[in-house]
């Protein structure tokens, strides 16, 4: 009987087995993953596998040679690879969203080996794309997680509400939801608004916010309260246009038990009392009926209110911020708004400019609104190319930022590709019923000959030039601090790095 042929020799020492296992695992991950890359200890990309190359066009690179050698955070937005280098700890499963899409990823540290075979110093890290369509592949898991997260958030809000009610013996206090950093923009008009808002926050006098609908008046009211000495107190908001005239007085001042047919037998405190120690925001003050205007004036002058059906005066301490999209001086001339109330409210007026007066802020607003959409939906927002941004800057924006948000949501729903140019945007706007689309906005006027020459340049070059000037100004203002410059411009640090690396 012939002897069996010997099996291939296998390394018998532990070191050889570990080396073989490491090579096998690396080859396995490289073959079954959707993409993989390596960075050295400085964070520089040194290798990508074949699968990862298909993501390069979405990241703005035509070839692997252009991609290699860059710092990882400069070319892969929102990456957390730097954290792996800093901590030496792996991130086994995570979600990454950027302009290339949404991915399930792993990040593993790489270490050299000591003479005794134990892991040594950190020499780099490996990034692995496990799934590139997690919404499809992991939809049951993502849906379950989203449901659990929503239930947890609701439970936390209810618990906080119950604690607040127990502390106050009544309705839970509201808190400001926005800060001045939430008012996106670094244009002269936006900077002037924020300057006035900061000064108003240092005062306790009434503030009157004037501006068209959708410009961010309520956001500024929150921000002024949050930056004031009353920030720890409640922020109570009343939309006067949404409350029937017959209920407005009770909503403001409250009512005594049995004050009118159908009234709660226990009575009820009004918004003025709820705002005691904090801020009362009166939105759409121009819609207030004349009968309530007189009582509001008296309350502001005397610092006390009289609930309906009661002869008892109740003191209150609330700072009033009012807002309107109406022309109050014209309403005063027509006798539709009390002149004495207007002057009582118009102590610290702040005009909030429409979006068409701060077109330079549109790229930053687009980025911020896109990130907000991504957090809400879990999908990466479309990337608007420079000519599409210029097209947005040319629109009239009657609905201002609220209309811009609506347009971006329409683009996200109707776009077939991740990158949207002006032609695609025009088609989407018309399909969505936006009406006539205005042409792209021209550069700011200057020397006539220079303006004419500038208008003859390709649109993408004009937008890129505007971006370069804005970035240079921000870096000069922050002394070269890129993180502060990115915050000033209202963009992410990765986007700023990308613009610096690829200015055209």
Q: What is the pLDDT of residues 86-112, one digit of tens each?
A: 888 998 888 787 777 778 888 999 888
Q: Tell me the three state secondary structure of residue 174.
A: coil
Report the C-alpha gap between 419 and 298 in whole angstroms: 57
Q: What global pTM score does this model have?
A: 0.55
- Highest mean pLDDT among 201-215, 234-248, 255-269, 409-423 belongs to 201-215
**pLDDT band for position 449 (50/70/90)?**
very low
Contacts of 440 (CB under 8 A, 6+ apart): 387, 390, 391, 393, 394, 422, 459
pLDDT value, residue 322: 95
Which among 409, 417, 338 has a CA at the least distance from the CA of 374? Answer: 409
Sign of CA dihedral 357, 363, 364, 368: positive
Q: Tell me the three state secondary structure of residue 212.
A: coil
Q: What is the pLDDT of residues 316-331, one digit of tens each?
A: 888 999 999 999 999 9
Containing 167, the helix (H) or strand (E) segment is helix 139-168
pLDDT value, residue 463: 63
Report the C-alpha gap between 141 and 490 in whole angstroms: 33
Report the C-alpha gap between 485 and 131 in whole angstroms: 34
The two most distant CA atoms of the chain are separated, in Å, by 118
Strands 45-48 and 35-40: antiparallel
Report the C-alpha gap between 315 and 304 in whole angstroms: 4
pLDDT value, residue 447: 38
Q: Tell me the three state secondary structure of residue 104.
A: strand
**pLDDT band for position 210 (50/70/90)?**
very high
Contact 104, 93 (CB under 8 A): yes
Higher pLDDT, 268 or 207: 207
Strands 304-305 and 314-315: antiparallel
Please provide the distance, in angstroms rounded to a whole number, between the alpha carbons at the two ends of the chain: 76
Q: Tell me the three state secondary structure of residue 58.
A: helix
Average pLDDT along the chain: 78
**pLDDT band for position 77 (50/70/90)?**
confident
Contacts of 444 (CB under 8 A, 6+ apart): none
The tokens of 353 are what?
């400019």
**pLDDT band for position 266 (50/70/90)?**
low
Report the C-alpha gap between 491 and 367 in whole angstroms: 6
DSSP 322-350: EEESS-HHHHHHTTSS-HHHHHHHTTEEE
H runs (alpha helix) in 40-127? 64-67, 72-75, 81-87
Residue 9 pLDDT greater than 70, yes or no: no
Report the C-alpha gap between 370 and 376 in whole angstroms: 10
pLDDT value, residue 254: 77
**pLDDT band for position 225 (50/70/90)?**
very high
Residue with tokens 């659990």: 148
- The mean pLDDT value for 348-374 works out to 90
Q: Tell me the three state secondary structure of residue 488.
A: helix
- Highest mean pLDDT among 46-60, 204-218, 435-449 belongs to 204-218
Residue 208 pLDDT greater than 60, yes or no: yes
In Å, what is the CA distance from 496 to each residue of 45, 440, 463? 19, 24, 15
Q: How many CB atoms lie within 10 A of CB 466?
A: 20
Higher pLDDT, 366 or 117: 366
**CA contacts within 13 A on the Cβ side of 482:** 11
Q: How many CB atoms lie within 10 A of CB 357?
A: 17
- The mean pLDDT value for 362-390 works out to 85
CA geometry: angle 155, 161, 163, nearest 5 deg:
105
pLDDT value, residue 164: 55
Q: At what angle do helices 459-477 and 482-489 cross, to 10 degrees?
A: 120
In degrees and rounded to multiples of 5, residue 333 shows phi and psi of: -65, -30
Which among 343, 355, 399 has a CA at the least distance from the CA of 208? Answer: 343
**Cross-strand partners of 320:** 280
């Amino acid at each position: 009987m012939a002897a069996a042929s010997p099996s291939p020799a296998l390394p018998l020492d532990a070191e050889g087995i570990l080396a073989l296992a490491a090579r096998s695992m690396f080859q396995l991950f490289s073959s079954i993953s959707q993409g993989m890359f390596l960075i050295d200890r400085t964070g520089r990309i040194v290798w990508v596998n074949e699968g990862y190359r298909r993501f390069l066009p979405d990241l703005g690179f035509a070839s692997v040679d252009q991609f290699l050698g860059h710092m990882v955070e400069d070319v892969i937005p929102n990456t957390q690879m730097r954290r792996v280098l800093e901590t030496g700890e792996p991130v086994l499963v995570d979600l990454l969203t950027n302009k290339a899409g949404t991915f399930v990823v792993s990040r593993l540290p790489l270490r050299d080996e000591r003479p005794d075979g134990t892991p040594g110093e950190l020499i780099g890290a490996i990034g692995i794309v496990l799934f590139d369509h997690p919404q499809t592949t992991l939809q049951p898991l993502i849906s379950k997680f989203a449901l659990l997260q929503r239930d947890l958030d609701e439970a936390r809000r209810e618990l906080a509400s119950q604690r607040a009610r127990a502390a106050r013996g009544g309705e839970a206090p509201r808190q400001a939801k926005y800060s001045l950093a939430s008012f996106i923009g670094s244009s002269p008009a936006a900077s002037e608004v924020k300057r006035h808002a900061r000064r108003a926050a240092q005062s306790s006098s009434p503030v009157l916010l004037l501006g068209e609908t959708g410009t961010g008046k309520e956001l500024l009211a929150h921000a002024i309260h949050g930056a004031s000495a009353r920030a720890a107190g409640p922020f109570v908001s009343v939309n006067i246009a949404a409350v029937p005239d017959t209920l407005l007085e009770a909503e403001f001042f409250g009512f005594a038990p049995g004050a009118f047919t159908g009234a709660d037998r226990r009575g009820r405190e009004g918004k003025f009392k709820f705002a005691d120690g904090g801020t009362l925001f009166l939105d759409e003050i121009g819609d207030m009926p004349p009968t309530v205007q007189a009582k509001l004036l008296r309350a502001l002058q005397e610092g006390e209110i009289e609930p309906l059906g009661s002869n008892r005066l109740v003191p209150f301490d609330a700072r009033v911020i009012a807002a309107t999209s109406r022309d109050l001086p014209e309403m005063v001339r027509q006798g539709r708004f009390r002149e004495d109330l207007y002057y009582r409210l118009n102590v610290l007026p702040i005009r909030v400019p429409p979006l068409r007066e701060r077109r330079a802020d549109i790229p930053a607003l687009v980025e911020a609104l896109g990130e907000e959409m991504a957090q809400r939906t879990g999908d990466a927002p479309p990337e608007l190319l420079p000519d599409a941004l210029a097209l947005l800057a040319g629109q009239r924006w009657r609905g201002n930022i609220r209309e811009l948000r609506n347009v971006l949501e329409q683009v996200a729903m109707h776009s077939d590709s991740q990158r949207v140019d002006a032609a695609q945007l025009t088609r989407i706007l018309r399909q969505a019923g936006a009406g006539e689309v205005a042409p792209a906005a021209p550069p700011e006027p200057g020397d006539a000959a220079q303006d004419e020459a500038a208008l003859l340049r390709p649109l993408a070059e004009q937008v890129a030039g505007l971006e370069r000037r804005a970035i240079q100004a921000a870096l000069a203002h922050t002394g070269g601090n890129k993180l502060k410059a990115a915050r000033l411009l209202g963009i992410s640090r990765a986007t700023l790095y990308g613009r610096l690396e690829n200015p055209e």
